[in-house]
Structure 1
Amino acid sequence: MVSTLRTELARYRTAERLMRSHSRGETAAAPRDPEPSVHSERRRSRSPRRGRAPSEGS
């Protein structure tokens, strides 16, 4: 039991590291970091702009 728990903990830690490294420019990052939240807000503001862009162009 203890050995399996340790392996699960190790997997979780490595997965968390990968998520943090990859999510710095994405929304998957933890809410503690201010950068990912800014990126997510930018993406939210981008999505409505995409819908308006074609109407403005035409």
Structure 2
Amino acid sequence: MDFDFEKGMKRLSEISEQMNGDIPLETSIKLYSEAAELVKRCREYIDGAKLEVEKTEMM
């Protein structure tokens, strides 16, 4: 299944809002871990898109 960049960014925004609230430490750690994985996947998606643009520009 392909990564949905927009959904990933939306989820990151939701996590950010939750972490700005008063939440237990364990919940905060779980959210941080989820966010770190989402950031990694978003960066990979952007890197892939950048390569596609560069390939297109070389044509």
- Fold agreement, TM-score > 0.5: no
Determine which structure has more spread, i.e. the larger CA radius of gyration.
Answer: 1
Provide TM-score, normalisation by structure 1: 0.43
Return the structure number with greater relative CO, CA threshold 8 A, min gap 6.
2
Task: Give TM-score, length-normalised by structure 2.
Answer: 0.42
